[in-house]
Amino acid sequence: MNYPYFNPTPGRLPLVALLPNLGSEAPEDHVCSYMDYISINCAIMSMSVSKITTGINTAKDNNIRTILAHNHFNPEASRTLDQQLKYCQDTVNAHTKNTGLAGYWVGAFPQVNMEVENIEKFPEKIYDCDNGKSVFTMIPAHTAERSYTPNDYTDFIKEVQNKMKPAVWIADSIPYNIIEGWVGIRHKEFLNSLETFAMLSRYTLRPFWASVKCGPDNELLPYPTSGQMLYHALSALAYGAKGIIFNNFRQKIKSDVPLAPLDYDGFETEQLDDVKKVIERIKKFEQIFLSSQMMQIAHTGRKDLPSNQSALNDVPLTERTEDSSILYRKFLSPIGPLYKISCTGRGVLISHLCWKPNDPESSKDNTESSKDNTETTNDNNEPKNDVEDYLMIVNHDTDKKQTVTLSFSPYFKIEQVKSAKVNESIENDEIIITQSGSDTKIILDPGDCAIFRWK
């Protein structure tokens, strides 16, 4: 049994800024204003006990919900476990009724081969005091440089699941090499991580989030571009992620070189616009990302794929038969309605997302859709389909545009999604497919995506 998951931003996809420890200060109003400006709707914040109320209220005034981080929520070497748990209890009880508080962050994530008995006591204590919010913690990804063996990592994940019962899995893997820049060196490890957390999400019936690094850890490391951040976020969403954390959102140290979208004093750097572009793109399809389930994943072009996948390139569909009462699809695609797909560059990620209009998390709430939800048959007195199928195509290349040629089966109605924003009707452009099949060409910007709907 897991602890319950509560979306910290009900009806919206969590777009979360991870802020550094503010010490004895609360987040300044201008910091929260910048976050609101780029549509960040939640922030993980740590500050002194005396500033917590001020910090939560300042964020709330700027339409930002707070996930509270504090050293009281972790084991502390200078105190006994009972003392630290008492501090944890007092901190939670003091703020649980604040409507701007959305959850709690146990920041000291467990490591492989590390005992977690003490760490697990803190989620237990928090839920005892406040069972209406979730506890969040980052889970380290299985990446090459950490030298975890597969068995070690599998056992570690089982231990975290059995003892900490996480309400949500949060993956910290990044798809680029932090020394040589964004050259795809860690692409396989990144996709393996997404596979792992997508599997965990389905197995444990708990969502997973992805942590996207939007600033380097020091002056010697490359700064991620908007294409790199976009690829990271959209790939995670294609795998079914239900939240995005923007890590390194504010500089931890004073520096003449901008290391984050907000500098040490909390003012914007030129990198803030890159994050804004990423968030704007995510929000364009937010309604689909919010309540869809990933059904199937495929890739083209690349060789550095997870061991259970091979590149899907120009694969024709297979014939199907006809029945007197049901017209079967004459062609069966390896994924969705695709007949063929080819690319001019590094290839693409292809995801089949299944979206449920009746899902409580979906905000497609208008008179027409409400009416549809009450009907059980269509005009031909046939059962209505209560799900919608989407095909998401993500550009593997984070530096260059890529032309993708798609051939769809003529036995489907295909539409390209123009917009699927929360609280707005989904806008589509129909694609005309002839009986003999016809090609559809799209140009994807670096790291960007296109989404199609089929019936």
Q: For the segment 402-425, what is each residue's pLDDT rounded down to a tens digit? A: 999 988 888 888 899 999 998 888
pLDDT, position 43: 95
pLDDT bin (cut points 50, 70, 90) of residue 378 is very low
412 compared with 358, residue with greater pLDDT: 412
Per the CB < 8 A criterion, the answer to whether 416 and 429 are in contact is: yes
pLDDT, position 376: 43
pLDDT, position 93: 96
Q: Is the pLDDT assigned to residue 144 strictly greater than 60?
A: no
Pick from 97-111, 326-340, 424-438: least confident: 326-340
Position 7 in a domain:
no
Any idea what the Cα angle at residue 441 is, between residues 438 and 444, rounded to 5°?
A: 155
Region 351-374 average pLDDT: 55
Are 245 and 314 found together in one domain?
no
- What is the spatial distance between Cα 22 and Cα 11, in angstroms, rounded to a whole number? 29
Q: Determine what percent of the chain falls in helix, strand and coil, rounding each to the nearest 5.
A: 30, 25, 50
Q: Is the pLDDT assigned to residue 266 strictly greater than 60?
A: yes
Are 278 and 317 found together in one domain?
no
| Helices 272-284 & 226-238 angle (0-180, nearest 10) | 30
377 Cβ contact list (under 8 Å, min separation 6): 383, 384
Residue 350 CA, chain-centre distance (Å), reads 16
Domain boundary among 284, 309, 332: 284
pLDDT, position 298: 86
Domain boundary among 249, 264, 284: 284
Are 198 and 59 found together in one domain?
yes
Are 200 and 346 found together in one domain?
no
Q: Is the pLDDT assigned to residue 216 strictly greater than 90?
A: no
Region 437-442 average pLDDT: 81
- What is the spatial distance between Cα 65 and Cα 69, in angstroms, rounded to a whole number? 13
Region 30-40 average pLDDT: 94
Tens of pLDDT, residues 57-83: 999 999 999 999 988 887 777 888 899
- Into how many domains does the chain fold? 2
- What is the spatial distance between Cα 197 and Cα 250, in angstroms, rounded to a whole number? 27
* DSSP, residue by residue, 120-167: HHHHHHHHHH-TTSEEE--B----GGGT--HHHHHHHHHHHHHHH--S
Of 321, 309, 217, residue with least CA distance to 259: 217
Position 8 in a domain:
no
pLDDT, position 236: 95
Structure tokens at 188: 């396989």
Residue 227 parent element (H or E): helix 226-238
| Helices 226-238 & 187-204 angle (0-180, nearest 10) | 30
Q: Is the pLDDT assigned to residue 89 strictly greater than 60?
A: yes
Amino acid, res. 312: L
Are 234 and 363 found together in one domain?
no
Region 342-349 average pLDDT: 87
Position 119 in a domain:
yes
Question: Model-level pTM?
Answer: 0.87
Name the most confidently modeled range: 136-140, 187-191, 389-393: 389-393
Return the half-sphere exposure (C-beta side, CA atoms, 13 A cut-off) of residue 25: 11
Position 260 in a domain:
yes
Are 49 and 168 found together in one domain?
yes
Are 214 and 309 found together in one domain?
no
Of 125, 132, 123, 124, residue with least CA distance to 99: 132
Are 279 and 299 found together in one domain?
no
Which CATH number belongs to the domain containing residue 174 in this structure? 3.20.20.80
Structure tokens at 58: 């300042």
247 Cβ contact list (under 8 Å, min separation 6): 18, 172, 211, 212, 213, 214, 215
- What is the spatial distance between Cα 283 and Cα 13, in angstroms, rounded to a whole number? 8
Position 39 in a domain:
yes
Structure tokens at 13: 């996809």
Name the most confidently modeled range: 17-31, 137-151, 236-250, 371-385: 236-250
pLDDT, position 368: 35
Are 271 and 400 found together in one domain?
no
Position 3 in a domain:
no
Domain boundary among 257, 284, 311: 284
Position 393 in a domain:
yes
Phi/psi of residue 104, each to 5°?
-130, 145
411 Cβ contact list (under 8 Å, min separation 6): 327, 329, 330, 331, 337
Are 221 and 271 found together in one domain?
yes
Per the CB < 8 A criterion, the answer to whether 5 and 168 are in contact is: yes
Give residue 43's domain range: 15-284
Q: Is the pLDDT assigned to residue 50 strictly greater than 50?
A: yes
pLDDT, position 192: 82
Position 2 in a domain:
no
Share of the chain above pLDDT 90, in %: 39
Are 82 and 213 found together in one domain?
yes
Are 202 and 135 found together in one domain?
yes
pLDDT, position 429: 85
Write down the mean pLDDT value for the chain.
80
Q: Is the pLDDT assigned to residue 31 strictly greater than 90?
A: yes
pLDDT, position 390: 94
